[in-house]
Amino acid sequence: MFKQRVVFVHGEGSFGAAAWPKQHGMALNYDALFLRRRGFDAVAEPLESDFAADAAIVLGALADDGRGEAGGHVVAHSQGAIAAMMAAVERPDLVQSLTLVEPACLSLTAELPATAAHRALMQPLFEVRHQLSDADFQREFLRRAFSAEAPGPTTPEARREARRLRLQAPGWEAPLQIVPGVPTLVLTGGWEPLYEEIAGYLRETGALHRIAAGGHRPQDSAEGDRLIRSFVAEVSRRQHAQAC
């Protein structure tokens, strides 16, 4: 039985399947691929982020799967939403739907108040990130972005995560455009004006916006997971009906 492909694109922190604990079960009904963006590896040293390289990884996952089929649904979180949108702009024929969870697509809303305030807060930190240690950058980033305190990294995995965070380019530098004609769900946690502002902008361009509890990771809540699954299933049903 043919299964439609669903490609999952992580944000910061965990990656691959570990970034999507509630969505593992979708592999029962879909050909689910849990990607790793550039520089995310369990052993290798992190690399500087590259928006175009991440978009190419997404497109590669949507390419012909060996059964003569290509394309699929894309579900992306935070910074991963940038790669998802760039891939959809480049190859809208391959992207059957977009689900953007707390999308860090700041370049779309650069002139709006919450985004401008966030950039004013974070840009001075990014301007000196290559002069800071990984631990110092991580500590200050989490304090500014999430009002959270971070213990210093004490394991090899934690040290790689801190370095990876420092090497991520800020979202306001991404070369983003609106994706025409691709069914899009934006899922936010309702906790941060920045992400609600981005969601509002995308809603004005045709996206469906839904809120589920869970802070920056609403996909981990039962309601967030339900919204993702029902959106992908509904788009699949609609597209199948149109093809018949």
- Residue 83's pLDDT is 98
Name every residue whose Cβ is closer than 8 Å to that of residue 170 and which is 6 or more positions away in sequence. Answer: 106, 119, 122, 123, 126
pTM over 0.75: yes
- Residue 49's pLDDT is 93
From 170, 50, 14, select the one nearest 105 (Cα to Cα): 170
In whole angstroms, how large is the CA radius of gyration of the chain? 18
- Residue 242's pLDDT is 79
- Residue 68's pLDDT is 60
- Residue 1's pLDDT is 58
Domain residue spans in the chain? 5-109+174-243
- Residue 66's pLDDT is 59
| CATH number for the domain whose boundaries are 5-109+174-243 | 3.40.50.1820
- Residue 149's pLDDT is 84
pLDDT tens track, the chain, 244 positions? 578 999 999 999 899 999 999 999 999 999 999 999 999 998 899 999 999 999 999 999 999 665 567 899 999 999 999 999 999 999 999 999 999 999 999 999 999 999 999 999 999 999 999 999 999 999 999 999 988 887 788 899 999 999 999 999 999 999 999 888 999 999 999 999 999 999 999 999 999 999 999 999 999 999 999 999 999 999 999 987 877 6
- Residue 180's pLDDT is 83
Given CA atoms 90, 170, 75, 33 in this order, what sign does their dihedral have?
A: positive
- Residue 51's pLDDT is 97
- Residue 65's pLDDT is 60
